[in-house]
Structure 1
Amino acid sequence: MMSADRETNHDMTNSDITLLLADATDEVEIGIAPYEAVIRGGRRRKARRWAVAAATALVIAGSSATLAVAGLPGGSGTVTPPATQAPTATRADLYTPQRTTLATGVEDGKEWRVVIDVWAAPRSEVEAAGQLEAMGEYGDVPSGVTKASELIGKSSYVTFLSDGDSADRDNRRPVYEDAFEVTDDPMKGADVQSAAIPFRTTNEHVQRLVIGMVGRDAEQVTCTWRDGTKTKVDRPGGNTAVGTDQPAIRRAEGSPVDWFVCLAPKGTDYGTADVTAMR
């Protein structure tokens, strides 16, 4: 629910948003992101990277090269549409993400799930301003966005790991964040792109959780772990329904690519993710 200040303050400019987001960013310790350590794949899409692999930042903690996620308080400093503007006919699509659960499981008695939010592309600055406000309420504000106009024509997405059945903004860790654009190269054949983060933050210093994307032609992805073991993820055949507790290549609402999730066994971590079967 919006705060009273945000319900009554309709006069913020994009400059105001920029300053407020910059202030929030100053509070986050950002290190050099070790991209090659966490991103693997073939030919990448041509999308502009807002942030990849652990969303807003990857922090190197000490000499152990432990990856930690720095969250962005996306709710503060965004702007609502001016009071004089009537809501557009597509408000429900623009201001509510299309949410898909990609994977669920239980480890050490604790439930977990991986979810993706996909936001429809706004067509004007007014629509973009309203979407930026809504993203803030969901905790989905892209980390590199400083003004609403940067959302125009882009379908933004955020994937995140959460505990249990909760997708609350305070109970999740972003993993993969970017946007789909009409100028993107389509993913075809063996194209794959993936990112990994530690599955547990308190006692784990290896990248065990892998989230990746593939094209519609991919029938199987194989995640190979550092110890040489493998996890195979298949696309369900026909109208076969596969529960989220079973690895599978899945469609996500609003996404032009398909998604997979792999979790490495304890004691090892991410090696590679490859498309090993195609249509």
Structure 2
Amino acid sequence: MNADRETNHDMTNGDIASMLAGATDEVEIGIAPYEAVIRGGRRRKARRWAVAAATALVLAGSSATLAVAGLPGGGGTVVPAATGSATPAPDLFTPARTTLATGTENGKEWWVAIDVWAAPRTEAQAAGQLEAMGEYGDAPAGGGTKASDLIGKSSYVVYFSDGDKRRKTFEDVFTKDDTMSGTDLQTASIPFAVDPDGPQRLVIGQVSKEAQQVTCTWKDGTTTKADRAPANTEIATDQPTIRPAEGSQVDWFVCLAPKGTEYKSVEVSAVR
């Protein structure tokens, strides 16, 4: 990640798919309370993000697909939205999985990925989806979600692996009222380890489709910038980049702090 990021080594699809499928290695983290910080104009509704207890969460106001079947460690092509008139029915029982970031540290591959589940329209569809989520390890934390809670909402789960194990870092749902624009920003900073203790070096966040650059500032005064990936351009997942995720209403970015420092702040530093 800029001059300070570690060099990425490719993982095979099979290796990573196995890690994602291995729910037994997953560390489930409950819904943690947090304070939302609002800056600027319109407030965006903040809901639950399942994050480690030490996580700092920020919600900023507005001032005015790289879709991979497995988790290859190299790159992919950012594909513009389809313009055809026919829209195929979404697959309600298999998530759209997108790699948000990969890298290597201490000789181990790490990655961040998101699963997005299409919105069911009926309770029967929702019940089938809830069962499928359990099989993928994507079942909502806490066990209190009813099938009816999923109707009309697309669900998402973000995973982080430090190379040994993976954990669900946060989860939520999208509704038709959830929008982001301008410099809207929602982020979580977490330790760079499955163990929730340690410096908060990893920043994962959502931004609007208008965001062109995000700047992560670390406590040692250095910064990491994530620029939007140009359309139809192959961008390796070991580069900090603003990326679309298949099925997601918002775009995503990941920043990793150099060793010896941790999260201080993050902002959308350029919009179109």
Question: Fold conserved (TM > 0.5)?
Answer: yes
Uncovered stretches (5+) of structure 1, i.e. residues with no partner: 1-27, 60-65, 68-88
- Deviations, residues 155-180 of structure 1 (Å, cap 9, x unaligned): 0001110255x9xxxx4111121110
2:169 corresponds in structure 1 to 175
In the aligned structure 2, how far is the partner of 1:52 from the partner of 1:202?
18
**Superposition pairs of residues 85-124 of structure 1, within 5 angstroms:** 93-124=91-122
Normalization by structure 2: what TM-score? 0.70
Matched, 1:127 2:120: no
Query: Quick one: percent identity of the two aligned structures?
Result: 62
1:181-235 per-position Cα deviation (integer Å, ceiling 9, x unaligned): 0122x21111111001111245951211111010011000000112211100001
Matched, 1:223 2:213: no
CA contact (8 A) 2:159 2:168 kept: yes
1-structure distance, mates of 2:151, 2:190: 29
CA distance in 2, matches of 1:40, 1:162: 28
Deviation at 1:254, TM superposition (A): 0.2
| Corresponding position of 1:75 | none
Structure having the larger proportion of residues in helix = 1
Mapping of residues 29-178 of structure 1, within 5 Å: 33=32, 35-36=34-35, 42=39, 45-46=44-45, 49=47, 51-54=48-51, 58-59=52-53, 93-143=91-141, 145-164=144-163, 171-178=165-172
Match of 1:274, SS state, is: strand
TM-aligned CA deviation for residue 130 of structure 1: 0.3
Mapped partners of 1:103, 1:191: distance in 2: 21
Asked whether the 8 Å contact 1:225–1:272 carries over to 2, the reply is yes
Change (3 A) 1:146 1:256: closer
SS in 1 for 2:244: coil
Alpha-carbon separation, structure 2, partners of 1:182 and 1:46: 12
Partners of 2:167 and 2:194 within 8 A in 1:
no
Coordinate RMSD, CA, aligned: 2.6
Amino acid at match of 1:172: R
Which SS does the other structure have where 1:175 is aligned?
A: strand
Q: Distance in 1 between matches of 2:146 and 2:196?
A: 37
3-state SS of the aligned residue for 1:242? Answer: strand
1:62-121 CA distance string (max 9 Å, x none): xxxx56xxxxxxxxxxxxxxxxxxxxx95x710000000000000010101100000000
Cα distance change, pair 41–134 in 1 and its aligned pair in 2 (3 A): farther
The answer (yes or no) to whether the contact 1:40–1:195 under 8 Å persists in 2 is no
Q: Contact 2:162 / 2:192 at 8 angstroms: preserved in 1?
A: no
Higher relative contact order (CA 8 A, sep 6+): 2
1:241 to 2:238 alignment: no
TM-score, normalised to structure 1, is 0.68
Contact preservation (8 Å) 1:40, 1:194 = no
CA distance in 1, matches of 2:95, 2:196: 32
| Gap change, CA 1:146 and 1:97, over 3 Å in 2 | same
- 1:103 and 1:261 in contact (8 A); partners too: yes
Q: Distance in 2 between matches of 1:230 and 1:239?
A: 27
Three-state SS of the structure 1 residue aligned to 2:97 is strand
Taking a change above 3 Å as real, the CA distance of residues 137 and 123 of structure 1, as seen in their structure-2 partners, is same
Aligned to 1:17: none
Indicate the SS of the match to 2:91. Answer: helix
Q: Which of structures 1 and 2 has the bigger CA Rg?
A: 1
- Number of residue equivalences: 210
